A and B are shown apart, each in its own frame.
Chain A
Amino acid sequence: MDYDLIVVGGGPGGLMAAKTAAEDGLKVLLVERKKNVAEIARACLQIFYINKITPNPETGKGEPNMDGYIDPVSAEILPEKCRFHFPVPGFSLDFSGSVRAYYNWVQISPRGYRIHRYVPDEKVWGFYYQKEAFVAQLLAAVEKAGVEVMPEASAVSAANTPGGVEVKVKRGQTEETIRGKNAIAADGLNSRIVQSLGLNENRRIGAPRHIVAYILEGVVAPSHDTSLLSWTIPSVSGGGNVWMGLLAGGRNILGVGSGADKPPAAILDAFLKLPAFWDWFKNAKVVDKKVTAVAPRASLKEPVAGNVVIVGDAGASAEAWIQGAVASGYQAVKAIEKERSGQPGYKDYINWWQKAFAFNYSAYQKLLARVYPLNRVCNDDDIDYLFQLFQDEIGIPALMVTTNLERVKKGRPELYEKIRASLTGG
């Protein structure tokens, strides 16, 4: 065996796994396809979510952070640093870098009607944290712990062998086979390791969605410095959406998502022409751009295959979030260590995984079915009407509408019928 553990992928999940294993004395190799391991190439909101409860799709009540990691977590803000606590796995991580608190999540209609997802300014529901710094600090800890880091190396497949695993790695034109006792697949949404192990059968559940995020300076919007803003504007973004979050240095990140219906650049162009928000962006300057593609899949029910354990987005449905990646990286190593000492580590990991992520709950899947049709069946005028109707209440607009549909019937019987038909599929 060349290594005790081969970690594929140097994002938050892989780095946390490599750090944890090396600190526990294992001989670890980390394989990463990028040249600069810590570079964040993809668009990301970089939010550490706290206070999460899976929402109840029947009532529309509950904490409405919809997917990702739902174990309780907390963030302690100290004078020099921030400490993230993960009490279920049982570890804490220090982070020194820019942090900004989210107090509000404001959902906005085409003409500017607003529905707050939380009681305004009442509590912090999450933090922006600078992911580049977070990943760079994890990488430094990985190197300090003695992990061998192999950049510019693309792991193309993994195969279980008796008592171990073989990982094929492509570096430039050459391909080599590396042997380990275990491997962790932390190679993200389009994981080649998961694919090569034959775990992707029937997992793809939609066409790739494209996201383009513009880094902006000079935005002047109501409470834009304490809020996540999200817009539902069918004429602009079709089934996609527009959102804006916080970044370091007073900057904002404006994300434009699209389905196959419209390219992101066209969405942004149309969005910036809307009269309701013209003033907010008239002095804003685009200083950078990040993009990403998300191919949604069903999550893996059992993220273990032989001697390979799958963590983070590689086994998730769309997004495990940074904190879910970190937690699963840690848990995967503990599972492997338990197995080696004769305990049912993999079984424990699978049980934890199924509980720790909202996307593994059938209630969450039901919720998705409720949330997404609204964008598709309503026009801008419908959305304005619905937002105006519910603007004094707190929650997710699509859920509020679909669970209180009778209230729409009086004023707009045709809209009521349209939404009802989309919910029943007929």
Chain B
Amino acid sequence: MAYRISADCEKCGSCEPECENQAISEGGETYVIDPERCTECIGNYKEPRCFEVCPVAAPERDPERKETKEQLLEKWRKLHPGKEPKLF
């Protein structure tokens, strides 16, 4: 599942530079995650990094976006051609 950012977001922007897939950007009322680039940090970190840094726990799983670990890894490989994912 890709992550999304709930309305709890206070727009501090701490998550944006932490995302190694560059999936996060400033939206209207909140920061937003591009689901096409979000791998739930599979390939990058053990836990989703945006959730870990967020002071108000705004990032959450998007139930509309169900993906398997294999699909997420495939997505990661497309985003980072020629690189090897970090697996935990």
Counting contact residues on chain A (CB < 8 A from B), the size range is 20 to 34
Shortest beta-carbon distance from B82 to chain A in Å: 16
B13→A291 contact, CB < 8 A: no
Report the separation of the CA atoms of residues A43 and B25 in the bound assembly, to the nearest whole angstrom.
19
Please tell me if the beta carbons of A43 and B12 are within 8 angstroms of each other in the complex: yes
Q: Which of the 9-residue segments A206-214, A322-330, A364-372, A398-406 touches chain B?
A: A206-214
> Can you name the residue of chain A whose Cβ is closest to the Cβ of B56?
A291
Asked whether A156 is an interface residue with its Cβ less than 8 Å from the other chain, the reply is yes
Find out whether the CB atom of A293 lies under 8 angstroms from the CB atom of B53: yes
* Binary flags per residue of B26-47, CB closer than 8 Å to A gives 1, else 0: 1000000000000000000000
CB-contact partner of B13 in A33, A156, A170, A212, under 8 A = A33
Contact B13 A295 (CB under 8 A): no
In contact, B26 and A34 (Cβ under 8 angstroms): yes
* CA gap between A212 and B16 in the complex, in Å: 18
Given contact pairs A34-B26, A43-B12, A154-B22, A208 touches B52 in the complex (Cβ within 8 A): yes
- Is the CB–CB distance between B55 and A292 below 8 Å? yes
Q: Which residues of B contact A263 (CB under 8 A)?
A: 57
The A-contacting residues of B in range 5-20, CB under 8 angstroms, are 10-18
Tell me the bound Cα distance from A33 to B22 in angstroms. Answer: 12
User: Residue on B with the closest CB to A265?
Assistant: B56
Interface: A264 (CB within 8 A): yes
Smallest CB separation, B85 vs chain A (Å): 18
For the complex, give the distance between the alpha carbons of A188 and B12 in Å. 12
Residues in A22-37 with C-beta less than 8 Å from chain B: 33-35
Does A407 count as interface, using CB distance less than 8 angstroms?
A: no
Residues of A within 8 A of B57 (CB): 263
Q: Report whether A190 and B55 are in contact in the complex, using a CB–CB cutoff of 8 Å.
A: no
- B73: Cβ under 8 A from any A Cβ: no
The contact of B17 among A41, A190, A291, by CB within 8 Å, is: A190
Q: Which of A240-287 contact B (CB under 8 A)?
A: 263-265
Q: Is B54 an interface residue (CB 8 A)?
A: yes
Q: Is A289 an interface residue (CB 8 A)?
A: yes
Cross-chain contact B26 with A33 (CB below 8 angstroms)? yes
A42 in the interface (beta carbon within 8 A): yes
- Whether B56 lies near A212 (C-beta < 8 A) is yes
CB-contact partner of B12 in A191, A265, A290, under 8 A? A290
Contacts of A42 in B (CB 8 A): 12-14
Q: Which residues of B contact A191 (CB under 8 A)?
A: 17
**Contact A192-B13, Cβ < 8 Å, known A212-B55, A264-B55:** no
User: Measured between C-beta atoms, what is the minimum distance from A257 to chain B in Å?
Assistant: 10
* CB closest chain-B residue, reference A34: B26
Taking the nearest CB of chain B, how far is it from the CB of A349, in angstroms?
24
Query: What are the interface flags for A30-55 relative to B under an 8 Å C-beta threshold, 1 for contact and 0 otherwise?
Result: 00011100000111000000000000
- Known contacts A154-B25, A263-B57, A293-B55: does B13 contact A34 (CB below 8 Å)? yes
Chain B residues with CB under 8 Å of A290's CB are 10, 12
Tell me if A187 is interfacial: C-beta within 8 Å of chain B.
yes
Q: A41 and B12: CB pair below 8 A?
A: yes
Residues from chain B with a CB closer than 8 A to the CB of A41 are: 10-13
Asked if A187 and B17 make an inter-chain contact with CB atoms under 8 angstroms apart, the answer reads yes
Docked Cα-Cα span, A207 to B13, in Å, equals 17
Chain B, Cβ-Cβ closest to A293: B14
Name the CB-closest residue of B to A190. Answer: B17
Q: Mark A379-422, 1 if CB is under 8 A from B, else 0.
A: 00000000000000000000000000000000000000000000
* Per-residue interface assignment for chain A, residues 194 to 221, with 1 indicating a CB less than 8 Å from any chain B CB and 0 otherwise: 0000000000000010111000000000
A4 an interface residue at 8 Å Cβ cutoff? no
Contacts of A210 in B (CB 8 A): 54-56
Does B53 lie within 8 Å of A208, measured CB to CB? yes
Q: Is the CB of B17 within 8 A of A211?
A: no
A residues near B16, Cβ cutoff 8 Å: 33, 154
Establish whether residues B53 and A295, one from each chain, have CB atoms under 8 Å apart when the complex forms.
yes
B25: chain A residues at CB < 8 Å are 154, 172
Nearest first, the 8 closest Cβ-Cβ pairs linking A and B are: A210-B55, A293-B14, A291-B55, A190-B17, A293-B53, A291-B10, A208-B53, A42-B12
22 inter-chain pairs at a CB distance below 8 angstroms, sorted by A residue, are: A33-B26, A34-B13, A35-B26, A41-B10, A41-B13, A154-B16, A154-B25, A190-B14, A190-B18, A192-B17, A208-B14, A211-B55, A212-B55, A212-B56, A263-B57, A264-B55, A289-B10, A291-B12, A291-B55, A293-B53, A293-B54, A295-B18
The residues of A with any CB-CB pair to B shorter than 8 Å are: 33-35, 41-43, 152, 154, 156, 170, 172, 187-188, 190-192, 208, 210-212, 263-265, 289-293, 295
| Contacts beyond the supplied A156-B22, A290-B12: 6 A-B pairs with Cβ under 8 Å | A208-B14, A212-B56, A292-B14, A292-B55, A293-B12, A293-B14
